[in-house]
Amino acid sequence: MQTKHELIPEPIGLDVDALSKPIDWPTLFGNDNPVEIEIGMGKGTFVTEQATARPDVNFFGIEWARWFWRYASDRLRRRGCNNARTVRAEANYFLTEFVPLASVSVLHIYFPDPWPKARHHKRRLIQPSFMPLAARILTPGGRIQVVTDHQGYWEENIEPVIRAAAEFQVVDYNRPGSAGEGEFVGTNFERKYAREGRPFYAIAAVKT
């Protein structure tokens, strides 16, 4: 993938090996504002729009693909989003090892990898073992929001797993202000899939 400029992830993009376990959010951001995490930020469309529009909230993006992480981090840097940080890491590992107990107000998961082949389903992020982890890091009343275009993932994992999670209660999905007319989130993936005529599935739940 090519860009017209050099990608500079620092200082927004952090080295996971240099982070404390667990992270101290006030020290990292320099304030006590609420923290929202996006898992799988891609090119950073959502997190950049949110960090720009909501300077009183701290945003943390997690991305495994190196190029996307560098691109999103550079994008946030160029937009002057000092209330955002990112890391290249596997999501379950990062949430388990680095995120403090009850410290995140919203967990955003938009268009997670569906791993469509049956032999790969165990790699899907959202499955029963993930929900206690999400509950551990969310504040009381904290929210998880998920959107997918993959019907199989939705029917086999996302909707039944979230509805069955004892720690959560399903609520109305909250469409971000950065989403355009008719959009659920407003990410690059969503816009690409919308042009292809794909349906979308969305769910939200709060920690009880």
Alpha helices (H) along the chain: 25-29, 45-53, 66-78, 91-98, 130-137, 151-153, 159-164, 188-195
What gap in Å lies between CA 95 and CA 73, rounded to an integer? 19
Active site residue 113: yes
Determine contact, residues 102/139, Cβ cutoff 8 Å.
yes
What backbone phi and psi angles, to 5 degrees, belong to 101? -60, 135
Question: Nearest 5 degrees, angle CA 48-CA 68-CA 22?
Answer: 75
Q: For the CA atoms of 106, 202, 69, 105, what is the dihedral angle to 10 degrees?
A: 0
Which of 56, 113, 149, 172 is an active site residue? 113
**Hey, what's the torsion of the CAs at 18, 43, 176, 205, to 10 degrees?**
-60
The catalytic residue positions are 113
